[in-house]
Amino acid sequence: MNRKNKWVLFFMILLGGYIFWREGRTINFQQVVQGFSHIKWIWLIVAVLLMLLSFAAESLALEKLLHKPGEPKQPRWNLLRIPPIEAVFNAVTPFSSGGQPAQLIALLQIGYEGGRASSVLLMKFIIYQLMVLINFVFTMLIGFHEVVGRFKGLAVLITFGFVIHVVTISMLLMIMFYYRFTKAATIGFFNLLRRLFHDRPKFDQWQATSLAKIETFHEESLKLKREKKKVAQAAALTMLQLLAYYLIPYFVLLALAVPRVDLLTVFSMHVMIVMITSIFPVPGGAGGAEYSFKTLFSAFVSNNTALILGMFLWRFITFYLGIIFGIIATGIKPTRIFPAKAVAAKPTTTDKPGLD
């Protein structure tokens, strides 16, 4: 991490501490200590293990997308370190924009060629977005009516997050299945900008960049269509990654002995919290995540001490634990191998279309 990232990370930790202090200043410290003493640690351990499972499933999905016949297998640590690295750089950048470049650098460090690494990460992004959308649609069917009835303000934020997500997915699918139309629409959009705001050199640059990205994405989508088995395996692992992550608050509440905890309700609430957090430009969604958790879960956690403890434990496991592991992962050097050279040394005519 560079100096700027370190300062942002330090600020995020301070901001998180301030948020928890502000939320917890109204509760008695002895009640907090008493709450910790009554925690059912077995359920809390399950919550931590689910977070680790989420990381492991993501690394396995990446491994499936990277694998090509005839290549030497990567040491497991090389790929296990990538999800925590993604987590720590997502935490220090607005809209979690730093995770993708950080993953790319991590793949370059272990010997993958830049074009291939970028292609695989693009495929991984598409699969991830589709799995998130499936989970969110399921959640909307189960629990959105309850949120609308109880929390109209949050319902607006959730709907806004959903619309942004659907627009993103729609644009990706348009490039995949309607390439020529998308390209023509992009050129038409920049021509309209030139007419409205006069012709500027920046518009030419932006158009060229946009068309290049559309071209790259379309080429990778064609490879994705050819790699059906590989994509299906990565999608299943990504779904496991998300399910493990979304179930964490349920076991946190069980650890706090909260009565009448419904698994599907808690699951759907967490999906909505993640959707709300994604639209906040603050790194890590700080403030928005805590506010959403407290507001949504206050519906069935009547004890304020248990609610604050639950918010702290949930945020630590799903956010700060990733930062801790990410810092460790960035500090440990990976084993560098050169899979592209290994394949080039043994050319075959029977290989299926690859991802490089």
Q: What is the pLDDT of residues 288-326, one digit of tens each?
A: 566 677 777 777 777 777 788 888 888 889 888 988 898
Asked whether residue 351 is domain-assigned, the answer is: no
* Per-residue pLDDT reduced to its tens digit, 106-117: 888 888 887 778
Domain housing 193: 3-20+33-339
Q: How much is the pLDDT for 244?
A: 96
Confidence of residue 152 (pLDDT cuts 50, 70, 90): low
Asked whether residue 329 is domain-assigned, the answer is: yes
Of the candidates 76, 67, 121, 79, the residue with the CA atom closest to the CA atom of residue 342: 67
Task: Say what the pTM is.
Answer: 0.77
Integer Cα distance of 315 and 287 in angstroms: 11
Of residues 244 and 352, the one with the higher pLDDT is 244
Q: How much is the pLDDT for 339?
A: 47
Asked whether residue 251 is domain-assigned, the answer is: yes
The tokens describing 7, both together, are 């300062």
Q: How much is the pLDDT for 343?
A: 39
Confidence of residue 355 (pLDDT cuts 50, 70, 90): very low
CA terminus-to-terminus distance, the chain: 27
Asked whether residue 148 is domain-assigned, the answer is: yes
Asked whether residue 59 is domain-assigned, the answer is: yes
For 269, 293, 300, 314, the CA distances from 297, given in Å and listed in that order, are 8, 6, 6, 12
* Per-residue pLDDT reduced to its tens digit, 198-244: 766 777 788 888 888 788 777 777 776 777 888 899 999 999 999 99
Average of per-residue pLDDT across 31-54: 86
Of the candidates 239, 28, 322, 275, the residue with the CA atom closest to the CA atom of residue 143: 275
For 39, 68, 110, 257, the CA distances from 342, given in Å and listed in that order, are 52, 11, 14, 54
Asked whether residue 28 is domain-assigned, the answer is: no
Confidence of residue 348 (pLDDT cuts 50, 70, 90): very low
Number of structural domains found in the chain: 1
CA 176 distance to own-chain centroid: 22
Asked whether residue 113 is domain-assigned, the answer is: yes
In sequence order, which residues have a C-beta less than 8 Å from that of residue 173 and are 6 or more positions away? Answer: none
